[in-house]
C-alpha cells in the first residue's frame, strides 16, 4: 500500500517550495495531497502563482483576512477534519508562516508524524513572528529537512538526533530550474531593458510601516537614480503605507525610477536574473540571487539564511546610503564577491525529501 503524505501551504513563498512534489510523488507511488489554507489570498500575489505552477490543490480552507490567533485556530479546526478523512502517514509543514505553525500543532495533537521543510533556519530575533513559528515547528517535528548547514547546527542544539535531520538542498531551486524556460519567455523586460537596472523590493514592517522608514526609502531611491535605473516592485503593504502617509506622489517625481506592481513568479524571476543588483528585505530573494549569482544587498539587521552571505552573493546591512553606494561601485568595478551555489542546490531537493520520507516511514 502506498504511503499517504499531506502537505500544508498558505503563502506565496510556500507555493514556490512545493511545485515538484506531485510529479515526484507519482514516480515514487506516494499518495500525496496538498492543503492550501488561504493565508495569502489576493489574485496578483497568490492565486496567479498556483496557476503558473499548475499546482493541483486538493483542499482549500479559504481562511482569509483573519488575525493571527483566529487564523491559526481556524486552520487547526478545519485541518483536523481533513486529517481524519485522509489519514496521512506523515504531514509536511512548509516554511515559517502562521499556516506552518497551525499545521504543525495539529499534526502533533493528532499523533501524525510531522516533517518540516526548510527546517533549522534562525535569525535569532524573536520579535519576528516567523522566528517563533520556526522554533516551535522544529521542536515538535519528527524529521527536519534542511536547506543549509547552519540548519543542522541549530537543530542539534535543540536536541534533534542525526536520524531526524536530512540535508536535502533547497526546493525553491527545484522550481527555478523546472520553470527556467517559462521565466525566460516572460516579456517583463520589454519596457525596462536588460542588465542595467537595480531591482528593489521592500515589505517588512520594520522597513515600511513608519513614515520615517518610507522617507529613508525615498532618500535611497533619489541617491540610486542619479547613476542607475531603478525598478521598484512595490508590495501591497508598502504601497498602502506610502498612500497612508501621503508619500506615493513623491515617487512620481524621481527620474530613472520605475515603480511596478507585484509581478507573477516568471516575470519577477526574470527581473532578478537580468538585474545589475537586487536590494531587498526578503528572505527567499536572498536565496534566489545567490543561486543566480546576482549581487544582493539585504537591508535587515539579521538573516535566517546565513549561507547566502558566507557562500553566496548576499550582503547584510542597515539603511546607509553611503555604504550602499559604495557596494554598488564595487559591483560595477568587479570587486564585489562572486559567490558560489550552496551544496545540493541542484534542482533535486524535492525528490530527496520524498525518498527520505519513505525511508522514515518504512
Is 216 inside a domain boundary?
A: yes
Q: Is there a single domain that holds both residue 88 and residue 19?
A: yes
- In 3-state terms, what secondary structure has residue 43? helix
Check if the beta carbon of residue 230 is closer than 8 Å to that of residue 256: yes
Reported pTM = 0.95
Q: Is there a single domain that holds both residue 145 and residue 247?
A: no
Give dist(CA 118, CA 115) in Å, integer: 10
Q: Which residues contact 316 (CB under 8 A, 6 or more apart)?
A: 298, 300, 301, 302, 303, 309
Is 268 inside a domain boundary?
A: no
Q: Is there a single domain that holds both residue 169 and residue 286?
A: no
Number of domains comprising the chain: 2
Looking at 36, 203, 235, 245, which residue is catalytic?
Answer: 203
Is 337 inside a domain boundary?
A: no
Is 44 inside a domain boundary?
A: yes
Q: Is there a single domain that holds both residue 66 and residue 200?
A: no
Q: Is there a single domain that holds both residue 163 and residue 202?
A: no
b/e 233-263 (16+ beta carbons within 10 angstroms → b):
bbbeebbebbeebeebebbeebeebebbebb
Q: Is there a single domain that holds both residue 164 and residue 224?
A: no
Q: Is there a single domain that holds both residue 160 and residue 246?
A: no
CATH, residue 52 = 3.40.50.2000
Is 244 inside a domain boundary?
A: yes
Is 161 inside a domain boundary?
A: yes
Is 338 inside a domain boundary?
A: no
Is 181 inside a domain boundary?
A: no
Domain that holds residue 315: 189-262+275-332
The pLDDT assigned to 41 comes to: 56
Q: Is there a single domain that holds both residue 21 and residue 117?
A: yes
- In tens digits, the chain (362 residues) has pLDDT values of 899 999 999 988 899 999 999 999 999 999 999 999 987 655 555 678 888 999 999 999 988 767 899 999 999 999 999 999 999 999 999 999 999 999 999 999 999 999 999 999 999 999 999 999 999 999 999 999 999 999 999 999 999 999 999 999 999 999 999 999 999 999 999 989 887 899 999 999 989 999 999 999 999 999 999 999 999 999 999 999 999 999 999 999 999 999 999 999 999 999 999 999 999 999 999 999 999 999 999 999 999 999 999 999 999 998 999 999 999 999 999 999 999 999 999 999 999 999 999 999 99
Helices 129-140 and 98-109 meet at what angle, rounded to 10?
20
Q: Is there a single domain that holds both residue 165 and residue 208?
A: no
Q: Beta strand 31-36 with 4-9: parallel, antiparallel or unpaired?
A: parallel
Active site residue 228: no
Q: Is there a single domain that holds both residue 233 and residue 351?
A: no
Q: Is there a single domain that holds both residue 148 and residue 194?
A: no
Check if the beta carbon of residue 6 is closer than 8 Å to that of residue 78: no
Q: Is there a single domain that holds both residue 18 and residue 162?
A: yes
Start-end of H helices in 158-225: 171-178, 180-185, 205-208, 211-224
Amino acid at each position: 500500500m502506498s504511503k499517504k503524505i499531506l502537505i500544508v501551504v498558505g503563502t506565496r513563498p510556500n507555493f514556490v517550495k512545493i511545485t515538484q512534489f506531485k510529479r515526484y510523488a507519482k514516480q515514487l507511488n506516494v499518495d500525496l495531497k496538498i492543503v492550501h489554507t488561504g493565508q495569502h489570498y489576493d489574485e496578483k500575489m497568490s492565486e496567479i502563482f498556483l496557476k503558473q505552477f499548475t499546482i493541483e490543490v486538493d483542499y482549500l480552507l479559504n481562511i482569509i483576512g483573519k488575525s493571527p490567533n483566529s487564523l491559526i485556530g481556524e486552520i487547526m479546526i478545519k485541518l483536523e477534519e481533513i486529517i481524519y478523512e485522509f489519514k496521512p502517514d506523515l504531514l509536511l509543514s512548509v516554511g515559517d508562516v502562521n499556516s506552518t505553525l497551525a499545521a504543525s500543532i495539529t499534526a502533533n495533537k493528532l499523533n501524525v508524524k510531522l516533517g518540516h521543510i526548510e527546517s533549522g533556519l534562525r535569525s535569532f530575533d524573536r520579535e519576528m513572528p516567523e522566528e517563533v513559528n520556526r522554533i516551535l515547528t522544529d521542536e515538535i517535528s519528527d524529521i527536519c529537512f534542511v536547506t543549509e548547514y547552519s540548519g543542522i547546527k541549530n537543530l542539534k542544539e535543540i536536541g534533534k538526533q542525526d536520524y531526524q535531520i536530512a540535508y536535502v538542498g533547497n526546493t525553491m531551486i527545484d522550481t527555478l530550474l523546472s520553470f527556467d524556460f517559462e521565466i525566460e519567455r516572460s516579456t517583463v523586460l520589454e519596457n525596462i531593458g536588460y542588465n542595467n537596472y537595480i531591482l528593489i523590493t521592500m515589505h517588512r514592517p520594520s522597513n515600511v510601516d513608519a513614515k520615517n522608514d518610507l522617507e529613508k526609502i525615498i532618500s535611497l531611491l533619489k541617491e540610486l537614480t542619479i547613476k542607475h535605473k531603478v525598478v521598484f516592485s512595490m508590495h501591497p503593504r508598502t504601497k498602502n503605507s506610502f498612500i497612508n502617509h501621503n508619500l506615493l506622489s513623491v515617487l512620481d517625481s524621481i527620474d530613472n525610477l520605475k515603480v511596478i506592481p507585484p509581478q507573477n513568479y516568471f516575470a519577477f524571476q526574470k527581473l532578478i536574473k537580468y538585474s545589475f543588483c537586487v536590494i531587498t528585505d526578503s528572505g527567499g530573494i536572498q536565496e534566489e540571487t545567490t543561486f543566480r549569482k546576482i549581487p544582493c544587498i539585504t537591508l535587515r539587521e539579521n538573516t535566517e539564511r546565513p549561507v547566502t552571505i558566507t557562500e553566496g552573493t548576499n550582503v547584510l546591512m542597515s539603511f546607509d546610503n553611503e555604504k550602499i553606494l559604495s557596494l554598488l561601485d564595487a559591483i560595477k568595478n568587479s570587486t564585489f564577491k562572486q559567490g558560489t551555489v550552496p551544496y545540493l542546490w541542484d534542482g533535486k531537493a524535492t525528490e530527496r525529501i520524498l525518498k527520505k520520507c519513505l525511508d522514515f516511514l518504512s
